[in-house]
Amino acid sequence: MSVPPSDDPSVSTQTVKVGILGATGTVGQRFISLLADHPWFIIHALGASSRSAGKPYPQAVKWKQTSPIPAVVRTLVVQECIPEKFADCAVIFSGLDADVAGDIEAAFRKAEFAVFSNAKNYRKDPQVPLVVPLVNTSHYSMIPQQRSLQSPPLKKGFIVTNANCSTTAFIIPLAALEKAFGPIESCMVTTMQAISGAGYPGISSLDIIDNVVPYISGEEEKIEWETLKILGGIDETEKAGADGATDKTLSFDMHQAHPLRISASCNRVPVVDGHMECVSVRFSRRPPPSPQQVREALLSYTPEARTLGCPSAPRHAIFVHEEADRPQPRLDRDYQRGAGVSVGRVRQCMVLDIKFVVLANNVCIGAATSSIINAEFALLKGYVST
């Protein structure tokens, strides 16, 4: 199967060469596993630090996936993360450490690459879409403005970022609820986050075995403001220029039209993959929906990425468990190959309106899978030139 390069799926057809920055890391390895059999994307180049550059991939990586290193990368030599080494790639996926992602991703954008980043560096940027691909693909409309404001202006280059993996988990059901019942007024979320979220080697075994750590640096603040950017719309203002022509400026609404109060509490738990979160919400609308109405709305939620035909978008974005003791990380993290989320225990909340539990695979839909769906969507909408 090859990619339709425009909105029209009958217009066929070529495969797209992609590069992966941070290819040796936890997220980079997931990119490789997920892209090895992708119908459109061909892994063409891998990048990592100077510690890894120059080595064949199997020698550079501490491979921690349950399936073997895919044949397509076995013979690739890891490169320095500089644009010239990725010349033939139309798409760049970044799983770079945040300490270095800022400069490197900017250099790739400047060199006219479409960059899909997992790092936090550009999430707050007023020109950069922060896209959870099962929620706010409408934010891609910011890309032309992002390009035009670069110096010099760009023709093809842009950056789109993923959200933090904990934000991603609960914002998918939140978006489904807002779509069905209108604005959410307040939200409380308590996370139980897997250790893979901290990368490799991550948190010391002596700190996490037989333990729970009630602090993850910067995480609560990120969840709180990212939610407002993702669930907010895009505002358009028009200004008349001296020549009488009107200039349109786009900006992210930050959920200002319907203010949302949100509070997050984050914990690290001894689970390898899969972030579980307890969520309580209060709706603006009175009376609020019943638990049964909420279950039905979650089950029927279909994101635009799915209807448009992104091959990695899950057939069912949200599974709703009826069993009292589900979801659980070990049992449910591979739902829809890690691309969907699992909700359970939907019930009335005596303080807000409704409460539930959600589980998402932090390294799949929380990271690599989101970037891949983002790139598929951008390609189908014509934002990526091949």
Ligand X SMILES: NC(=O)C1=CN([C@@H]2O[C@H](COP(=O)(O)OP(=O)(O)OC[C@H]3O[C@@H](n4cnc5c(N)ncnc54)[C@H](OP(=O)(O)O)[C@@H]3O)[C@@H](O)[C@H]2O)C=CC1
User: Which residues are annotated as catalytic?
Assistant: 165, 275
How many C-beta atoms surround the C-beta of residue 331 within 10 A? Answer: 14
Region for 255 from its dihedrals, namely left if φ exceeds 0, alpha if ψ lies in -120 to 50, beta otherwise: left
Shortest Å, Cβ 168 to ligand X? 8
Shortest Å, Cβ 164 to ligand PHD? 3
Task: Check if the beta carbon of residue 364 is closer than 8 Å to that of residue 195.
Answer: no
* Binding map of ligand PHD across residues 355-374, x = CB under 6 A, - = no contact: -------x------------
70, 102, 183, 199: which one contacts ligand X (CB under 6 A)?
A: 199
* Binding map of ligand X across residues 264-303, x = CB under 6 A, - = no contact: ----------------------------------------
Residues 72-131 that bind ligand PHD (CB under 6 A): 98, 118-120
Q: Among residues 48 and 372, whose Cβ is nearest to ligand X?
A: 48
Give the torsion through C-alpha atoms of 79, 34, 227, 159, to 10 deg. Answer: 40
Largest Cα–Cα distance of the chain, in whole Å?
69
Of 219-227, 234-242, 316-324, 358-366, the window that binds ligand X (rule: CB under 6 A) is: 358-366
CA–CA separation, 358 and 354 (whole Å) = 13
Residues 220-259 that bind ligand PHD (CB under 6 A): 222
Helix (H, G, I), strand (E, B) or coil at 180: helix
Question: What strand order describes the sheet that includes 318-320?
Answer: 261-265, 184-192, 275-283, 354-360, 341-348, 318-320
**362 belongs to the binding site for ligand X (CB under 6 A):** yes
Helix (H, G, I), strand (E, B) or coil at 122: coil
Residues 177-196 that bind ligand X (CB under 6 A): 196
How many C-beta atoms surround the C-beta of residue 185 within 10 A? Answer: 17
Residues forming the site for ligand X (CB under 6 A): 22-28, 48-49, 51-52, 81, 95-98, 100-101, 118-120, 165, 196-197, 199-200, 362-363, 366-367
Residues forming the site for ligand PHD (CB under 6 A): 98, 118-120, 164-165, 193, 197-198, 216, 219, 222, 362
